[in-house]
């Protein structure tokens, strides 16, 4: 039983990561209507920059993580200028392809700069475990859930209460109207790209310390996050969070008992299943896919 609870706990932690990633997709989709194929690589960048911060700049882990998040956010803005802005009036698929090209460049540059062998990203909380009533949970996983909860709550508050959040929601509903009513579309677009980049980096910083990571690890996580976003209907923050947690738990619990050798295929399998079975998300009433 305690094994199951341990699995449940790590499932929740994984789900929190998926929720963070999905929130990143959601913010960008709400603001611009597109999906960034480079999102997974931004997760990797966040983790790698933390590593660089601690090893080359000799910063403390918290400072390095903060720096990583900020820099990745800036990278997001750069991507907006290079891969999105020149194509604003072209079909969505074209933009997705250009973000694919950008993802390729980002990953290649990262590999050239920091090497292609696996790295171990440090954590501020130590590598030990907590023992809560017989259930063993890695400390890092607890950190993941706590930080993710704080970030998501802040996001929710931001969407609901600030001018920025209102502008984002207006842009999501009607882009042309939003521009006419004076919302600074270009500024918001850059902000959204930067912000979703930062969210990706946070996810990367949180999940990387669990095991040595290499250049493609963010890409795999992106699939789970994307599945969560689809399952959440690309609609509300609450929806994608619930979907993310659900997927994380399913992956960890099923993955321990079914197809154990093929565990790495779970995020992809979940995503394909979601697209095939319920592309409109769990909660939507409409019968068509959103993107």
Partner 1 sequence: MPDSETAVVDTSLAPTGEARTTRRRLYPGHQFLVVLVTAVVVGTVVSALELEPLDLGMVNLWMVYSIIAIGFYFIFAVAGQFALSQAFMAMVGGYVSAVASPSTGVPLGIVCGITTAGVLAAAFALLMRRVTEFYFAIATLGLAEIGTIVIRNWDYVGGVDGTRIGIQPLEALGRQLRMQDEVFWGLLAAFTLALLVAAAFERSPLRRELIAVHRTPEVAATLGVPVTLLRVTVFAAGSMLAAFGGALYAHWQGFVSTEAFGLDLSIGIFIMVLFGGTSSMWGAVIGAAFYVVVPVKFEFLGGYLDVFYGGLILVLIIAFPEGLIGIARSVARRLPRRIPGTQRRAGVS
Contact positions toward partner 1, by CB under 8 A?
A: 35, 82-83, 86-87, 92-94, 96-98, 100-109, 111-112, 223, 226, 230, 261-262, 264-265, 268-269, 271-272, 275-276, 279, 289, 291
Q: Helix, strand, or coil here: 131?
A: strand
What's the closest the beta carbon of residue 108 comes to partner 1, in angstroms? 3
What's the closest the beta carbon of residue 258 comes to partner 1, in angstroms? 14
The rounded distance, in Å, linking the Cα atoms of 220 and 18 is: 11
What's the closest the beta carbon of residue 231 comes to partner 1, in angstroms? 12
Angle in degrees, CA 259, 265, 270, rounded to 5: 100
122 or 239, CB closer to partner 1?
239
4 or 262, CB closer to partner 1?
262
The rounded distance, in Å, linking the Cα atoms of 75 and 233 is: 27
193 or 223, CB closer to partner 1?
223
191 or 226, CB closer to partner 1?
226
What's the closest the beta carbon of residue 84 comes to partner 1, in angstroms? 11
Count the helix, strand and coil residues of the chain and give each as a percent rounded to the nearest 5: 75, 5, 20
What's the closest the beta carbon of residue 204 comes to partner 1, in angstroms? 19
13 or 34, CB closer to partner 1?
34
What's the closest the beta carbon of residue 281 comes to partner 1, in angstroms? 12
| Residue 225 Cα to chain centre, angstroms | 6
Contact criterion met (CB below 8 Å) for 16 and 145? yes
Q: Which long-range contacts (CB under 8 A, 24 or more apart) does 137-141 make?
A: 137/6, 137/9, 137/10, 138/10, 138/13, 138/210, 140/13, 140/206, 140/209, 140/210, 141/9, 141/10, 141/12, 141/13, 141/210
What's the closest the beta carbon of residue 247 comes to partner 1, in angstroms? 13
211 or 272, CB closer to partner 1?
272
Contact criterion met (CB below 8 Å) for 230 and 22? no
Phi, psi (rounded to 5 degrees) for 135: -95, 125
79 or 205, CB closer to partner 1?
79
């Amino acid at each position: 039983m305690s094994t199951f609870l341990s699995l449940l706990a790590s499932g929740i932690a994984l789900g929190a990561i998926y929720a963070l990633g999905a929130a990143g997709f959601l913010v960008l989709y709400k603001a611009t209507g597109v999906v960034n194929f480079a999102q997974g690589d931004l997760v990797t960048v966040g983790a790698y920059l933390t590593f660089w911060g601690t090893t080359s700049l000799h910063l403390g882990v918290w400072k390095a993580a903060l720096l990583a998040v900020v820099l990745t956010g800036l990278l997001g803005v750069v991507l907006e200028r290079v891969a999105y802005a020149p194509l604003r009036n072209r079909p969505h698929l074209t933009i997705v392809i250009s973000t694919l090209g950008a993802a390729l460049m980002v990953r290649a540059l990262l590999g050239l700069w920091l090497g292609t062998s696996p790295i171990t990203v440090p954590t501020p909380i130590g590598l030990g475990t907590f023992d809560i009533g017989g259930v063993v949970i890695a400390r890092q996983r607890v950190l993941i859930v706590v930080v993710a909860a704080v970030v998501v709550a802040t996001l929710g508050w931001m969407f609901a209460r600030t001018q920025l959040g209102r502008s984002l929601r207006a842009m999501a509903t009607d882009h042309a109207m939003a521009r006419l009513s004076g919302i600074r579309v270009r500024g918001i677009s850059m902000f959204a790209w930067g912000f979703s980049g930062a969210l990706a980096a946070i996810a990367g910083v949180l999940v990387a310390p669990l095991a040595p990571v290499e250049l493609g690890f963010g890409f795999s996580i992106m699939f789970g996050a994307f599945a969560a976003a689809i399952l959440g209907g690309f609609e509300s923050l609450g929806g994608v969070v619930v979907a993310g947690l659900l997927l994380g738990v399913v992956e960890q619990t099923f993955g321990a008992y079914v197809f154990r050798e093929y565990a790495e295929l779970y995020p992809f399998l979940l995503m394909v299943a979601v697209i095939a079975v319920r592309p409109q998300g769990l909660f939507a009433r409409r019968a068509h896919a959103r993107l």
